[in-house]
């Protein structure tokens, strides 16, 4: 008998689907399920969550029986800088205001690439901020505060 092995890609994939299915199933149980005639808010999601868990189980069985493609290279640096960018924008757009927030957001995202030099990043972010200000704030007139209350008043003209 060959040693018990689990394919990494499919193993993680199965675990992810089972976990997500489990999350939705547990949450659904806290809702009113109802009957097939009058379905409560929990009925349909519970059915879907169970199906998701079952599909995850099928993938798990496949993972034990077959090998698949390896996961391959993962963009760690990319994730480290790209994913926080929108979060940072969300955290600061009201406090700092649109202009400083978008500048810093672009700056953070810039560092996702190893090829970006700090000076290029600064210049790029500055140009981008100017463009975003002209297009979104000035031309389209989106109702964003340009500078927010976190900044000391003497800094903002």
Partner 1 sequence: MELLDNLALGFSTATSLANLGFCLIGVLLGTLIGVLPGIGATATIAMLLPITFQIGDPVSSLIMLAGIYYGAQYGGSTTAILINMPGESSSAVTAIDGYQMARNGRAGAALAIAAIGSFFAGTVSTFLVAIFAPPLTAIALQFGAAEYFSLMIVGLVSSVALAHGSIVKALAMVVLGLLLGIVGTDIYTGTPRFTLGIREYADGLNFVAVAVGVFGVAEILRNLENEHERSVMIRSVSGLMPTREDFRRMAAPIVRGTIIGSALGILPGGGAILAAFASYTVEKRVSKNPGEFGKGAIEGVAGPESANNAGAQTSFIPMLTLGIPANPVMALMIGAMIIQGIVPGPNVAIEQPALFWGIIASMWIGNLMLIVLNLPLIGLWVKLLTIPYYVLFPIIMAFCSIGVYSVNTNIYDLYAVAFFGFLGYLLTKLRCEPAPLLLGFVLGPLLEENLRRAMILSRGDPSTFLTRPISAGLLFVALAVLVIVFLPGVKKKREEVFVEEN
Least Å distance, CB 147 to partner 1, is 16
Q: Which has the closest alpha carbon to 131: 101, 99, 157, 156?
A: 99
Is 30 or 153 the residue whose CB approaches partner 1 more closely? 30
Is 142 or 156 the residue whose CB approaches partner 1 more closely? 142
Question: Using CA atoms, how far apart are residues 113 and 129, in angstroms rounded to an integer?
Answer: 20
119 lies in the site for partner 1, by CB under 8 A = no
Least Å distance, CB 42 to partner 1, is 8
Least Å distance, CB 3 to partner 1, is 23
Q: Which has the closest alpha carbon to 143: 105, 94, 101?
A: 94
Among residues 120, 130, 146, 150, which is the contact residue for partner 1, using CB under 8 A? Answer: 120
96 lies in the site for partner 1, by CB under 8 A = no
Place of tokens 């169970």: 50
Question: Using CA atoms, how far apart are residues 66 and 78, in angstroms rounded to an integer?
Answer: 31
Q: Measured at the alpha carbon of residue 42, what is the angle toward residues 22 and 19, in degrees to the nearest 5?
A: 10
Among residues 1, 2, 3, 73, which is the contact residue for partner 1, using CB under 8 A? Answer: 73
4 lies in the site for partner 1, by CB under 8 A = no
Longest Cα–Cα distance of the chain, Å, equals 77
33 lies in the site for partner 1, by CB under 8 A = no
For residue 75, give the DSSP letter.
-
For residue 154, give the DSSP letter.
G
Contact map string, positions 134 to 153, toward partner 1, x by CB under 8 A: --x---x-xx----------
Among residues 97, 99, 100, 132, which is the contact residue for partner 1, using CB under 8 A? Answer: 132
């Amino acid at each position: 008998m060959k040693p018990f092995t689990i394919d990494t890609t499919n193993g993680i994939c199965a675990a992810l689907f089972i976990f997500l299915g489990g999350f939705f199933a547990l949450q659904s149980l806290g809702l009113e399920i109802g009957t097939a005639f009058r379905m409560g808010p929990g009925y349909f999601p519970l059915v879907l969550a169970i199906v998701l868990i079952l599909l995850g189980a099928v993938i798990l069985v496949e993972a034990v029986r077959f090998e698949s493609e390896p996961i391959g290279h993962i963009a760690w640096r990319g994730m480290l800088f790209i994913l926080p960018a929108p979060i940072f924008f969300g955290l600061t757009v009201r406090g700092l205001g649109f202009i400083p927030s978008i500048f810093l957001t672009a700056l953070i995202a810039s560092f996702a690439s190893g090829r970006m030099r700090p000076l290029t990043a600064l210049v790029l972010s500055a140009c981008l901020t100017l463009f975003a200000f002209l297009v979104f704030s000035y031309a389209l007139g989106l109702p964003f505060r340009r500078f927010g209350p976190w900044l000391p008043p003497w800094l903002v003209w």
